[in-house]
Amino acid sequence: MSVPWLEKEMAALRAAYETDRMPHALLIHEAPGAGGDWLANWTARMVLRTEREQHPDWIRVHPIDESKQIRIEQIRELGEELSLTSHQGGYKVGVISPADVLNRFAANALLKTLEEPPPRTVLILVVTQPSRLPATILSRCQRVRIAAPERAQAVAWLEANRGPGNWNAVLDIVGEAPMQAAEGDPEAVVQIGSEVHRGLDEMKAGRADPVATAERWARAELPLRLRCFENWLTERIRDHSGSPAFLTEVGAVTYLKRPQTVLNIRGLFELLDGVRDLRSALDTPINRGLALETLFRRLER
């Protein structure tokens, strides 16, 4: 599967590998759904000279069990694996995704590996919010930035890989995130997204019941609904701040630039963080309905 908007990054990484300039640590900073994991896996296959997804010298680290964090014991095991001689005499590769959910202890353990990397190893971190990582880790990684593709390019890629569908409408709902859009049924996404956007508009205007809406959301397709909520907030921040870029990380200021608006941009950013935190906590034993109601009441205010 080719990904046209990543060709520049792929070419740079291929050139680094072929000239023996491959960095010990890469940090792939992606716009959500733009292909960070895909590029990390492509890089691992290139370095290991394999087309297989399973390889004895390829170690993957993700959140495990019900936790949405990457824990210290996982990073210690990764460090131990990378320090061993490779099974096939070449590189060893570790992929951490999403690396921005490393807990504090895991981040400290990772720093030790980054400070003294074993020879012929490549460590790849995939993040959407690098500011969640300590500066000491960021400074030891070569950063690869993946921006969201142009809409026409994303739609063409979705049609080629998933077939015909109302992909423009899907991307309107989930944002410029083709990799994420490809995971769902386009008709279902459009239906749910339209319902979510309509409900949030009504909520902001004070015409919707936050309790009833929270209960309805909690019963079905909550991850998709929260992604739509996140995109809805991002679009409003972007519209009122005058920035053309799709915002993945922006420092908040107190008020929006347009003097006529009554929206407080700091409040919107805090609400956006609340939505992201809830998405990260979905596998934990929380009261989803109550958490949603709290977010909706903040939106009303």
The verdict on 189 and 97 lying in the same domain is no
The verdict on residue 167 lying in a domain is no
Higher pLDDT, 3 or 174: 3
Query: Do residue 208 and residue 89 come from a single domain?
Result: no
Comparing 3-7, 41-45, 129-133, 281-285, the range with the smallest average pLDDT is 281-285
Q: Identify which of 75, 66, 65, 141 has the alpha carbon closest to the alpha carbon of residue 104.
A: 75
In a domain? residue 159: no
Of residues 240 and 138, which shows the higher confidence score?
138
- Number of structural domains found in the chain: 2
The whole-number pLDDT of residue 125 equals 98
Of 53, 38, 45, nearest to 122 by C-alpha is 45
Residue 81 in any domain: the answer is yes
12 and 141 in a single domain? The answer is yes
Model pLDDT, residue 247: 41
Structure confidence by residue, pLDDT tens digits, 44-100:
999 999 999 899 999 999 988 666 789 999 999 999 999 999 988 899 999 999 999
Task: Give the model's pLDDT for residue 280.
Answer: 74
Q: Is residue 155 part of a domain?
A: no
Task: Say whether pLDDT at 218 is over 60.
Answer: yes
Q: Is the pLDDT of residue 256 over 60?
A: no
Average pLDDT, integer, range 181-207: 91
CA dihedral 46, 52, 57, 62 (to 10 degrees): 100
- The mean pLDDT value of the chain amounts to 88
Residue 291 belongs to some domain of the structure: yes
| Residue 10 and residue 106 in one domain | yes
Average pLDDT over residues 100-104: 92
3-state SS of the chain is CCCHHHHHHHHHHHHHHHCCCCCCEEEEEECCCCCHHHHHHHHHHHHHCCCCCCCCCEEEECCCCCCCCECHHHHHHHHHHHHCCCCCCCCEEEEECCHHHECHHHHHHHHHHHHCCCCCEEEEEEECCHHHCCHHHHCCCEEEEECCCCHHHHHHHHHHHHCCCCHHHHHHHHCCCHHHHCCCCHHHHHHHHHHHHHHHHHHHCCCCCHHHHHHHHHHCCHHHHHHHHHHHHHHHHHHHHCCCCCCCCCCCCCCCCCCCCCCCHHHHHHHHHHHHHHHHCCCCCCCHHHHHHHHHHHHHC
Q: What percent of the chain has pLDDT over 70?
A: 91
Residues 199 and 131 in one domain: no
**48 within a domain of the structure (yes/no):** yes
Which span out of 70-79, 167-176, 238-247, 274-283 was modeled with the highest average pLDDT?
70-79
pLDDT for the residue 260: 38
Asked, for residue 160, whether it belongs to a domain, the answer is: no
What pLDDT score does 246 carry? 39
pLDDT band at 232 (very low <50, low <70, confident <90, very high): confident
Q: What is the pLDDT of residue 250?
A: 43
pLDDT value, residue 292: 94
Residues 99 and 196 reside in one and the same domain: no
Q: What value does the mean pLDDT take over residues 95-109?
A: 95
Could you say which of 146, 168, 202 is where a domain stops? Answer: 146
Q: Does residue 98 share a domain with residue 220?
A: no
Of 146, 175, 209, the domain-final residue: 146
Residues 112, 11 within the same domain: yes
pLDDT in tens, 142-173: 999 999 999 999 999 999 999 999 999 999 88
Its domain, for residue 220, covers 185-300
Looking at per-residue pLDDT, the higher value among 233 and 143 belongs to 143
Position 253 in a domain: yes
Same domain, 190 and 128: no
CATH of residue 229: 1.20.272
Say yes or no: 277 and 226 in one domain. yes
Residue 127 and residue 197 in one domain = no
One-letter amino acid for residue 234 of the chain: T
Q: What CATH number should be reported for the domain holding residue 19? A: 3.40.50.300
Of 65-74, 151-160, 243-252, 263-272, the one with minimum mean pLDDT is: 243-252
Which of 93, 116, 146 finishes a domain? 146
